[in-house]
Amino acid sequence: MPTLHATTTTQVTLVDTSRPLVDQGATLAASRSLPTTIIAPTGSGRYPLVVFIHGYEVGPSFYARYLQMLAAHGYVVAAPSFPLEDPADGHPLTETDLPNEAGDVAFVVTTLTSGPWAAHLAQGKVAVVGHSDGADVALLAGYSQAHADPQVRAVIADAPDPMTTPTIAGGPPLELVHGSADQIVDPSASATVMTQVAAERWSVTLAGADHASPIHGPSPWTASFDAATLDFLDAVLTRHETSSLTATLSALPGVSVVAAPGP
């Protein structure tokens, strides 16, 4: 068992003054303000950065268990609150802002890796992880021709919709996770994404799992969900060796795995 880290939680507000907040043609604010929860291992080491992208009509606090788990296993986790998807921000909610959220993700990565937090981050080790609408944004940040960020080295998309924009050739390794009993996003969506993305990729299906219980937890699927996350991030960001990942994921309880090579 790995040694778990003690963690600290910091609340910061990152403001992108280069882009306004716009909804249906109306400017709601002159800039995009992103209240961001950062959970990090204590101490002076350098750790990979995980930017977490929440789903619709919830905020980072809904995923507190999962974010804390990642940080305890040696990741600096940055979870921004997106202004038109988190009701805590006070704006009318809309799912049309997802492409702009991909820009927010790039802004958060650039801000943290070039500012004071850079001293705590392992260079070149950046992952994006998203759930539901957040999974759609993670796919944009990894593979969309219009929004892919070369800073991103690994992507985990939990319960994504199929992509609707042209994709790049290649891209960072991808892990898709979906519950077989998801009633919000059809599990077949992940199979579609497997055909749309050309990167090295794995699709992990949790037998009997619904839309949010595995990541929110506790649930019968949470242990396997967490292990799939950690196994993937370790293989891609730390060991840079994925030849045994399919077997590792397939050994998890209640999991079935489909893998595909990159270009």
Question: Which residues lie closer than 8 Å to 188 by C-beta, 6 or more apart?
Answer: none
pLDDT of amino acid 89: 85
Q: What pLDDT is stored for residue 1 in this prediction?
A: 59
The pair of structure tokens assigned to 227 is 């292990």
Residues of the chain predicted below pLDDT 50? none
Give the pLDDT confidence score for residue 91 in this predicted structure. Answer: 87
Do residues 11 and 33 touch, judged by C-beta distance below 8 A? no
pLDDT value of residue 90:
84
Positive or negative, the Cα torsion across 83, 81, 99, 183? Answer: negative
What CATH number should be reported for the domain whose range is 7-260? 3.40.50.1820
Per DSSP, helices labelled H in the chain are 64-72, 98-114, 133-143, 188-196, 213-216, 222-233, 245-250
Q: Is 71:77 a contact under the CB 8 Å cutoff?
A: yes
